[in-house]
Amino acid sequence: MKASCEILILLITLVTGVGSSIALAEEPKQSSNQWLLDAENDTDRFKRLEIYLRGFDQPMWEVGYRFEIVYDAIIDENYELATYHWGKVKLTIENGYLKRPARKTNADLIFFQSGIWKSLDTALKEGDSKKIKSAFSDARLSCMGCHAAESVPFMNEQKIFRRTGTFPEPGGH
């Protein structure tokens, strides 16, 4: 019985000692909503921003969103809305070069220097439905060509390109 008591006392001492050690151990730093300010220095803050802002996929996501708005605005003959978003498509692609300068060459050659972007911009401002639809279709093909040139042709196999491949007949949307 005495041995059992000694073992019990030893176990209690060990457990309380371990518990005290755990309590005395430094607690991990709690995370906060200040994910940027909590960084140790500006270098770490900039690294966090680069991770957060990601690569060219973010601008392309916005381009895709605006591209569909342009398409719908053309169908609705809301050319002012289409012109607005078409301008933002250009701005978004160009801003994306800051993050991924390697994307600039193909985007410039295929989309801007070729006159594709300008052609739709001009057609929208003129308001000629036939020219607008033709220029939009050319722009769509240009986007798909750029994806192929950038070795991401699988981007062309998605709803946005299936949906924008043709325009509904007037009065049929």
Are the C-beta atoms of 96 and 56 separated by less than 8 Å? yes
Q: Is the pLDDT of residue 68 over 90?
A: yes
User: What is the pLDDT at residue 15?
Assistant: 53
Q: Record the pTM.
A: 0.78
Are the C-beta atoms of 123 and 132 separated by less than 8 Å? yes
Closest by CA to 59, choosing from 88, 82, 86, 87, is 88
pLDDT in tens, 72-123: 999 999 999 999 999 999 999 999 999 999 999 999 999 999 999 999 999 9
Greatest mean pLDDT range, 11-15, 33-37, 105-109: 105-109
Calculate mean pLDDT across residues 52-72. Answer: 97
104 Cβ contact partners less than 8 Å away, ≥ 6 residues apart: 97
Give 9 or 126, the one with higher predicted confidence. Answer: 126
Q: Is the pLDDT of residue 18 over 90?
A: no
What are the structural domains, with CATH classification, of the chain? 55-163 (1.20.120)
68 Cβ contact partners less than 8 Å away, ≥ 6 residues apart: 160, 163, 164
pLDDT in tens, 131-167: 999 999 999 999 999 999 999 999 999 999 999 999 9
Please return the burial class of 16, using the count of CB atoms within 10 Å of its CB with bins 0-12, 13-18 and 19+. exposed
User: Count H helices, E strands: the chain?
Assistant: 8, 0
